[in-house]
Structure formats: C-alpha cells, structure tokens
Amino acid sequence: MPFRPRYTGLIDRYRDRLPVNDDTRLISLGEGNTPLLKLNNIPKLIGKDVDIYVKYEGLNPTGSFKDRGMTMAVTKAVEEGSKAIICASTGNTSAAAAAYAARAGITAFVIIPDGKIAQGKLAQAMMHNAVVIQIKGNFDEGMQLVKDVAEHAPVTIVNSINPYRLQGQKTAAFEIIEELGRAPDYHCLPVGNAGNITAHWIGYCEYSSASGDHVTEACAYCHGNCKYAGGAIVGNRPKMVGYQANGSAPFMRGAMVDDPETVATAIRIGHPQSWDMAWKVKEESQGWFDECSDEEILAAQKLLAEKEGIFCEPASATSVAGALRDIQSGKIPEGSTVVCTLTGHGLKDPDIAIKQSSSPVITVDATLDSVRDAIINNLAR
Ligand code: F0G
C-alpha cells in the first residue's frame, strides 16, 4: 500500500502563502483540511436546483474555525519570544487559545462574559489550563479590556485584530477552491467580529490573482504579511454574504449595538472589530449582509442535524438559515454553487441542543417487552 504523507497542519500545507520561514517552529494541532460536504436532502426539501456545500469547520481540533487563525497567531507569538497570550472571547477563541498555548508551553489568559459562553467551550479553556477571567460584562467590553491591558502587561493579543489570525483563516478559501476547482458563486458566513468573512475574502483574492501581491484592497489587510506565491489561477470570486443574529446585527443597523443579545452566543457581538474591512469585503465582492432571528437560526441547526446528519453550533447555522432564505426568495438564483461555513461543532453547546431537540428520550423497564414496544410505537417517526 502506498504511503500518503502525514497531514501536518495548514501552515505546513500553505507555507508559501503564509508569513513563516524554514526555521519557524510551527505550533500545530493538525488543523485545517476540513470536509466540504454537499447537502443532499435539504435542496430537495426546498425544491431548488442549487448546489449547497457546507465547510464543516467544527471538525478542527478544538471544534471551530478559530484553530486556523490560532495556529498562526501562536506560532508567531512564540517566534517573537512571547510567553503569554490573551484574548477576549465568546468561547471558541478562548478554547483555541488555551489549546494552542498548551501545545506551545506558554500561558493563555482568556476573558469571557460571565454566564454567556457555552459549556463545552468553558470546559475546553479550563481543561487546557488557561487562566479564565470571567467579567460581569459582554464580549465587547472584554475586547476593550484586552486592548487596554496588553499595553501594560507582557502578553500577545490573539483576537482577530492580530493580523496573523486572518492569515491563517484565509486558508479555508484555498481549500474550497482546491476541492471545487473554482471559487463558489456565493460564500455565506455567520458574522460576529467580521474577521472570518474578511479572511475568506483575502484568501479568494490571493488565489484568484495571476501575479501575486496585494491585488485588491482587501488583500492589503494582511498588513504586509501576505506572501502569495502563484499557484492555481481561478477566474471567479464569490459574492460574500454575511448573516448576523437580529439581536446582534450592527451591520444591519449601520451602527454599533450596545446590548447585543442572541441565543447564538458565539456571535453575541455589537462592536465588530473588523467593521471597516467587512464593509469593503461586501462592496468589493458585491455581496450583502442580512440578519436571521433566533428561531430561524435554531430551525436551521435542527434541519442540518435531522436531515443531513451534520451537527453545528447555533451561530454556525446562521449561514445556512440565511442562505436557505435567500435561495428560496431567488436572491441566490437556481444553478448557483453556494458554500456555507459551519464555524463550530454542535457539541460545543449541548444545553441548547437538548433544549430544542424534539427527539423523545423514552425511559422503559429493562425488559425485552418494553424495549420492543418502544421500537414498535416509534417506527413511523
Ligand atoms: N461562528 C462561531 C462559532 C464563532 O465562534 C464566531 C466568533 C463566529 C461565527 C463569528 O466569526 O467573529 O470572525 O465574524 N467567535 C469569537 C470567539 C468572537 O470569541 O470565539 P467572526
């Protein structure tokens, strides 16, 4: 049997296009290379002839897309001699920061909104031995504190304002192009801080350029870290579509939101850090922003789980909730190829999943008769 080279993470795979050199010690957990799954059942259910793919980022090592950015941010922090990293987080960034810090042998400080992060994410930060600081405030207040404290303490910020984060995250676009042989027509993402939508656009722009460096304004967001080195040339770039939860939708309001609220705690953000960049992405790609209600988000989460076998966390389902609405209305026309990013795994937030599930959990006596009856009575579900 021929050997397949061992997959060693996205920095190694895309090192020509990332700001590392041969001597850089890579801090990796084998992130990236996530499945691009074609939805089989949902398009039939809605009766539309559209190819919908989901990029299942929940299958990264800590269960979210944050690992793509964190491998880069922690690799560079270590290269630059940092002994500690810090982030504010709605949960996933803190889980990734904690894990990559553990891998690197440095300390992670994570600032989280008290009582507003999903259990799985808190468990991860604690298990990886991060210093967890809960604040009686929201993510946006935590983010401001991180910026302030980093000026007075020897810590590297690993939120997406750290430019290396977006460099790592852009590789998701590379993977999609390599699998489809082209960019999709539409790429739909949930939007919180708007780092990920920006990172994807950087990735698509780099890949679609024939001759490299800084071909668009968006590409310049890499702050000079981009080392695009040729490769496949694809002619098209997607329209980038960002969906927010309607209680936390500053891009829809056209202004910051001071008291964001949503069941999708990962995107409970009212002051996006990548505000200007995301507006440019929307304009350059001729995409749009829209919002979904909590009910629509949870319905999409359930639909994916029940009809496709794909379990994502509520925030992630925002991309599918919005895309399905826009496909049904014809705003995304039939014949299109659509990619929706599923940013985090459903196991991150078991409380919400159990609360909204309609599956019966049947308790019966431990006898053959009772179990057989339970089966017969539920065969038609
Ligand atoms: N989906 C999930 C599951 C997230 O955790 C986040 C952000 C987003 C979407 C939005 O991505 O901020 O790049 O627009 N989570 C951050 C965190 C804020 O702290 O984990 P974005």
Q: Residue 168: which CATH number?
A: 3.40.50.1100
Residues 245 and 327 in one domain: yes
Q: What is the mean pLDDT of residues 190-194?
A: 98
Last residue of a domain, one of 157, 192, 219: 157
- Confirm whether 379 is domain-assigned: no
193 is in an annotated binding site: yes
Provide the H-helix boundaries in the chain: 10-13, 42-46, 66-79, 92-104, 119-127, 139-150, 163-169, 171-180, 195-208, 250-253, 275-285, 294-303, 314-329, 350-356, 368-378
What does the buried/exposed string (b/e) look like for 303-338 if buried means 16 or more CB atoms within 10 Å of the residue's CB? bbbeebebbbbbbbbbbbbbbbbbbeeeebeeebbb
- The whole-chain average pLDDT of the chain stands at 93
Residue 381 clears pLDDT 90, i.e. is over it? no
Question: 76 in a domain, yes or no?
Answer: yes
Instruction: Say how far apart CA 318 and CA 189 lie, in whole Å.
Output: 7
pTM: 0.93
3-state helix/strand/coil string of 356-371: HCCCCCCCCCCCHHHH
Under the banding of pLDDT at 50, 70 and 90, the label for residue 363 is: very high
Same domain, 352 and 279: yes
CA 196 / ligand 1 centre spacing (Å): 8
User: Is there a single domain that holds both residue 189 and residue 223?
Assistant: yes
User: Is 380 part of any domain?
Assistant: no
Residue 365 lies in a domain: no
Q: Are residues 218 and 277 in the same domain?
A: yes
Ligand 1 atom showing the smallest separation from residue 348 Cα: 3
- pLDDT of 234: 61
Residue 214 Cα to ligand 1 midpoint, Å, equals 26
Count other Cβ atoms within 10 Å, centred on residue 347: 15
DSSP string, 244-275: EETTS-HHHHTS--SS---S-GGG--SS-TTH
Interval 273-291 mean pLDDT: 97
Residues 77 and 359: their CA atoms lie apart, in Å, by: 46
Cα separation, 288 vs 100, whole angstroms: 34
pLDDT above 60: residue 229: no
Pairing type for strands 186-190 and 239-245 reads parallel
Annotated binding-site residue? 318: no
Inform me whether the pLDDT recorded for 379 exceeds 80: yes
Pocket test for ligand 1, best of 55, 196, 241, 276 (most atoms within 8 A of CB): 196
Answer yes or no: is 196 a known binding residue: yes
Q: Are residues 211 and 296 in the same domain?
A: yes
Q: Which of 157, 190, 220 is the last residue of a domain?
A: 157
Provide the pLDDT for residue 209: 65
Residue 25 resides in a domain: yes
pLDDT at 357: 86
C-alpha 24 – ligand 1 centre gap (Å): 28
Q: Is the pLDDT of residue 32 over 50?
A: yes
pLDDT tens digits, 79-104: 999 999 999 999 999 999 999 999 99
Which residues on neighbouring strands pair with residue 245, listed in sequence order? 292
Predicted confidence at residue 220, as pLDDT, reads: 40
Distance of CA 365 from the midpoint of ligand 1 (Å): 44
Among 167-176, 219-228, 291-300, the minimum mean pLDDT is found in 219-228
Same domain assignment for residues 275 and 336? yes
52 in any annotated domain? yes
Residue 366 resides in a domain: no
Q: Are residues 31 and 136 in the same domain?
A: no
Same domain, 178 and 225: yes
Which of 267, 340, 349 most suits a substitution to test ligand 1, by most atoms within 8 Å of the C-beta? 267
Domain span at residue 48 reads 10-63+163-356
Residues 336 and 190 in one domain: yes
195 annotated as a binding-site residue = yes
Task: Give per-residue pLDDT as tens, 161-173.
Answer: 999 999 999 999 9
Last residue of a domain, one of 157, 189, 217: 157
Mean pLDDT of 266-289: 97
Whether residue 217 is found in the same domain as residue 335: yes
The distance in angstroms from the start CA to the end CA of the chain is: 44
Q: Are residues 130 and 220 in the same domain?
A: no
Provide the pLDDT for residue 359: 82
Residue 374 covered by a domain: no
The band of 230, judged by pLDDT with boundaries at 50, 70 and 90, is very low
- Amino acid 223: pLDDT: 41
Residues 118 and 28 in one domain: no
Q: How many domains does the chain have?
A: 2
Pocket of ligand 1 (CB under 6 A): 64, 66, 89-93, 160, 190-196, 266-267, 269, 313, 315-316, 343-344
